[in-house]
Amino acid sequence: MPNDFNQQIIEEFRANEGRVGGMFEGSPLVLLTTTGAKSGRQVTTPVMYLADGERYVVIASNAGADHHPAWYHNLRATPEATAEVGTEKFTTKAVFIEGAERDDLYARMVAQAPGFAEYEAKTSRRIPVVALLRQDA
């Protein structure tokens, strides 16, 4: 079950100050808590990110599936979310990146994590790129 898989990563992340082992060992991960577009419930998902200045860039690859991940639909409905990076927890606002900037950021993610090239090759959809902007109180 993906939810069980995600839950194990979330627990390991929180127990180890943002570090996890296994297939994500050494990868920059953010725990992204979004508001369910249909349910209204808070849903937490571990997502790899690309640091881009003050922004955390996430890719809605869904491992190359032909549909966007739930967290992407949730951000479209409610762009405000909570992010956990390392031991920090903060509020973010999603900005949906298009055009040449989207392509540049996707290429940078592929350079960091080559599996994203495979995800792009597996699907005919244009995989969305989202920047999470920190909202300091």
Residue 4: its H or E element:
helix 2-15
Side chain identity at residue 27, one-letter code:
S
Residue 58: its H or E element:
strand 55-59
Q: For residue 113, what pLDDT band results from cuts at 50, 70 and 90?
A: very high
Instruction: Please write down the HEC assignment for all residues of 79-136.
Output: CEEEEEECCEEEEEEEEEECHHHHHHHHHHHHHHCCHHHHHHHHCCCCCCEEEEEECC
Q: Which tens digit of pLDDT belongs to each residue from 22-75?
A: 989 999 999 999 999 999 999 999 999 999 999 999 999 999 999 999 999 999
pTM assigned to the model:
0.94
Query: Is pLDDT of 104 > 50?
Result: yes
∠ Cα 45 21 118 (to 5°): 65
Q: Which of 20, 29, 132 has its CA nearest to residue 72?
A: 132
